[in-house]
Amino acid sequence: MTTDNRKEILKRGAIWAFILVELAFFSIIGDRLSVSDKAFMDYANMLLLLKQSAPIGIIALGMTIIMINGNIDLSVGATFALAAIVLLDSMTWPFMQALGDWAIPLAWVFALLTGATLGAINGLIVWKTGVDAFIVTLGSMLGFRGLVFMFNGEQPTSHLNWTLVDFAEGHFLGLHTPTWFLLCAALVLWLLMTRTVHGRNAYAIGNNREAAVNAGIRVGPHMLLNFILIGFLAALSAVVFYSESGSVNPNDGMLFELWAITAVVLGGTKLAGGYGSIISTLGGVIAIQLLRKGLGHIGADTQTVNLVIGLILIAVLILDRQLNRKGQGELKI
């Protein structure tokens, strides 16, 4: 085994090792400090953890492929909110109500199409104008939020459909419905990134755009597809979340982009592009959720969670730099 190989395994395994440490810490220390007498490693608790990871997790998956491609998307929170509003609002349209429960899949389609369209707008602007994705999506973060407010002003949009709520709260083969959505999305994206030409080219473009162009890869369509995918996934996340809750505030989804980026970076994906994996992001998402739940379990307040996650993010960055000491693979924007 070469040093490079060993380093690679070390890097890929780091997030899973971190999860194990968290589990051990919260089960041993946590159960002593805990306010409740339930064990932390309770089966139901762990299932709930996966379910709660789903909304941010699905967005983080999309952020991973965007970042592997060398871009970033700050507008996912606004896309999430707009898709949620379309989902709930569309079910109250007269012709949809005439459809009965068949309105549900149609409302999903509307929401997902909204997300994909918003993603396509971002992607086209980045492709055609050549403006940096950071700026484009910073702008559309504001713009999409404006569209959200157009629906109902500052009022929340609500619609409860009990068939839908039952489905979203249900279990299937032992796992919650949202968990299945997260796992399926992860599987599809993993196949996309590791087994298809698009995935290979996305890595190549993120790694060295000029070289990719010289190798005859058309950069634009790949970027566009990735933006459509992240828009779609942000909408999927909204579908998963709001099918259950049934009410959306116009400010919902704010700072989701930052949470998603945090999970992706914890998973080891490089901001500069060309390196990262879907599976590691899944690890990052679970690690953050474990931390939230674990700190809650030992009686810490939400404020401590923010503090700890922020500091861990920085610590990961420092560690990562130590691993890449020789100047190779240094992070840059």
Partner 1 sequence: MTLTKQDIGRLLAKQGILIAFAVFMIGFALANQRFIAIDNIAGVIRSSAILGVMALGVTFVVIGGNLDLSVGSMMSFSTIVVLDLHDKIGPTLAIPAMFGLTLLLGAFIGFLVGYLKLNSLIVTLGMLSAIHGLTLTWSGGKNMDIADKSGTWFSFFGQDRIFGIPMPILIFALLAVLLSLLLARTPFGRKVYAVGGNGQAATFSGIPRARIVFFTYLISAFCVAMAGLLQASRSLGSQNTVGQGMELEVLAAVILGGASLLGGAGTVFKTVVGVLILGFIQNGLLLVGLDFYVQYIVTWAIIILAVWLDVAAKRGRLWSPIA
* Nearest Cα residue to 273 out of 72, 126, 125: 72
With CB under 8 A as the contact rule, the residue among 37, 43, 44, 130 that binds partner 1 is 130
| 255 lines the binding site for partner 1 (CB under 8 A) | yes
Closer to partner 1 by Cβ: residue 190 or 227: 227
| 213 lines the binding site for partner 1 (CB under 8 A) | yes
| 139 lines the binding site for partner 1 (CB under 8 A) | yes
| 311 lines the binding site for partner 1 (CB under 8 A) | yes
Count of beta carbons in the 10 Å neighbourhood of residue 312: 16
Q: Which of residues 268-287 bind partner 1 (CB under 8 A)?
A: 271
Closer to partner 1 by Cβ: residue 37 or 210: 210
Q: Residues binding partner 1: what is the number (CB under 8 A)?
A: 58
| 318 lines the binding site for partner 1 (CB under 8 A) | yes
Closer to partner 1 by Cβ: residue 105 or 156: 156
DSSP, collapsed to helix, strand or coil, labels residue 158 as strand
Q: Contact letters (x/-) for partner 1, 146-165, by CB under 8 A?
A: xxxxx--x------------
**Token pair of 241, please?**
């979340």
Closer to partner 1 by Cβ: residue 239 or 264: 264
> Chain centroid to CA 231: how far?
11
Contacts 24+ apart (CB under 8 A), 315-320: 316/265, 316/266, 317/265, 319/14, 320/268
Degrees (nearest 5) of the Cα angle 20, 25, 26?
105
Alpha helices of the chain — where are they, by DSSP H?
3-33, 43-68, 76-90, 94-97, 103-129, 133-152, 162-169, 177-195, 197-207, 209-214, 219-245, 256-266, 278-297, 302-323
Closer to partner 1 by Cβ: residue 44 or 255: 255
Interaction site with partner 1 (CB under 8 A): 74, 125, 127-132, 134-136, 138-150, 153, 213, 218-220, 223, 254-255, 258, 261-262, 265, 271, 301-314, 317-318, 321, 330-333
